Amino acid sequence: MLIGELAGRAGTSARTLRYYEAQGLLHAERDANGYRRYAEEELRVVREIRTRLDAGFPLADVRPFVACLRAGNDAGHVCPDAAAVLRRRLAEVDGLLTELGAVRNRLAEQLACGAGPC
């Protein structure tokens, strides 16, 4: 599978895949002409990366999830390292939810005040 095909199947761009490779997350053989040749497994890796990015992980934190997949596991989060990152992110998200909730309340309160007296 060449880079264009993998990009198409994963719903992303070739540029993005090269970037992941530069970050050490994606692997590819090289054809004689220098073209990247991807194993089927890399599709799962790309999907794992995209899923984690969508969940707000920085790329660097996706590393243990990918390693976990490569180790032969069905899911990226079953390994201790990945689970630890997961817990950290969960705590972070909880914090964000709290902050954002406070912001929301302040906004709503100000809107209420604007409509009438406080």
Decide whether 5 or 81 has the Cβ nearer to DNA.
5
Selected from 10, 26, 36, 45, the binder of DNA by CB under 7 A is 36
Contact between residue 26 and residue 37 where contact means Cβ atoms under 8 Å apart: no
DSSP string covering 46-108: HHHHHHHHHTT--HHHHHHHHHHHHTT-SSTTSSHHHHHHHHHHHHHHHHHHHHHHHHHHHHH
Stretch that binds its own copies, among 8-16, 18-26, 37-45, 94-102 (CB under 8 A): 94-102
Least distance CB 96 / its own copies (angstroms):
6
Pick one of 24, 60, 93, 116: the residue that binds its own copies (CB under 8 A): 93
Written as six digits, the tokens of 64 are 């243990």
Tell me if residue 32 falls in helix, strand or coil: coil
Return residues touching its own copies (CB under 8 A): 54-56, 75, 77-78, 83, 86-87, 89-90, 93-94, 96-97, 100-101, 103-104, 106-108, 110-111, 113-114
